[in-house]
Amino acid sequence: MLKTSASSRIQSSGLWPTCLVLSAAVIVLLWGNFLPGQTQFSNDGPLGRLMSECHRLPERFFGCWQDLNAVGFREGSAVPRITFALQWLLGPVLFSKLYAPIALMILGLSAWYFFHQIGLTRWACMLGGLAAVFNSSFFSAACWGVESHVIAIGMSFLALGLVIGKSGLQGWLRTGLAGLAVGMGVSEGADIGAIFSFFVAAFIVYQAVIAEGGKVKNWSIGASRLALVAVCAGLLAAQAMSELVANDIKGIAGTQQDAKTKAER
């Protein structure tokens, strides 16, 4: 009975038609990526770099020493996120071919889920998902080779959908999952994921403002939900943020606070 009910809800939501339309559109536009001997051009992660010994997975989860230049340098370990999971499961060649299509599908389905949660019609949800995928900023980013930014936007859509319209224990569980989605967005998109996390926070505050009932109660619930999202996001993104600080902030020329560096600046 429960399985039948869940199946009917999925069918009525238009999920499967949306999946088919999104898949067909992505395949048509990126058709060359599926041909033998060809792969998606990637500025930030070319195939040769993915196949180098220092970037092999799962070894990279325990650290990476970039040995392609001179003596080399510490590049940082692979962190638990969607990108590295795909790279590990698919291998370098398949990953280079499928990374862009998968990232765009994640974005499209996450956008569809958000629009579905706010109560739009099946066709409006489908068109919203397509619009997100073929937004020139997101689509060009995927083709350029920074699909992690596209996934980060998708995680923001997913988080927004999860914090809508549920109360009680289920609502708190969904809020925790929204926090994990925000954390995954930060792990994938770094500063971009962090910027979009503020939109999720603003949406939670907005929900507290427009909710029916006492203002004090609504604000306290909104603050609690915001705190839960922040904690869950911080737990998931902690390693990614520590790697970012270690590689891109500490030890970088010009960031020291000693008198000599300040005078040079």
Query: Per residue in 32-82, pLDDT tens?
Result: 888 888 777 677 777 777 777 777 787 777 777 776 666 666 666 677 889
Output the CA–CA distances (angstroms, integers) from residue 169 to 116, 173, 174, 228, in the order listed: 21, 6, 9, 13
pLDDT for 246: 60
pLDDT for 232: 94
pLDDT for 6: 47
pLDDT for 40: 73
Angle, helices 82-117 vs 168-189, to 10°: value is 130
pLDDT for 157: 96
Structure-model confidence comparison of residues 100 and 33, the more confident one:
100
3-state class percentages of the chain: helix first, strand second, coil last, to nearest 5: 75, 0, 25
How many distinct helices (H) and strands (E) make up the chain? 11, 2
Partners of 73 in beta bridges = 66
| pLDDT mean over 82-98 | 90
Which pLDDT band, with edges at 50, 70 and 90, does 93 fall under?
A: confident
| Helix/strand/coil for 252 | coil
pTM score, whole prediction: 0.81
Where are the domains positioned within the chain? 14-40+99-250
Which pLDDT band, with edges at 50, 70 and 90, does 1 fall under?
A: very low
Per-residue pLDDT reduced to its tens digit, 219-264: 898 899 999 999 999 999 887 777 666 655 555 555 556 676 667 6
**Max intra-chain CA distance, the chain:** 73
pLDDT for 211: 82
Question: DSSP for 61-129?
Answer: GG--EE-SSTT-EE--PPPSSHHHHHHHHHHHHHHHHHHHHHHHHHHHHHHHHHHHHTT--HHHHHHHH
pLDDT for 171: 87
The sign of the dihedral angle between the CA atoms of 227, 233, 237, 238 is positive
pLDDT for 261: 65
Residues 6+ apart with CB under 8 A from 28: none
Per-residue pLDDT reduced to its tens digit, 121-139: 999 999 999 999 999 999 9
What is the number of other CB atoms lying within 10 angstroms of the CB of residue 72?
A: 12
Per-residue pLDDT reduced to its tens digit, 157-196: 999 999 997 778 898 999 999 999 999 999 998 889 999 9
Query: What tokens does 188 get?
Result: 């994938």
Task: Check residue 1 and report its DSSP letter.
Answer: -
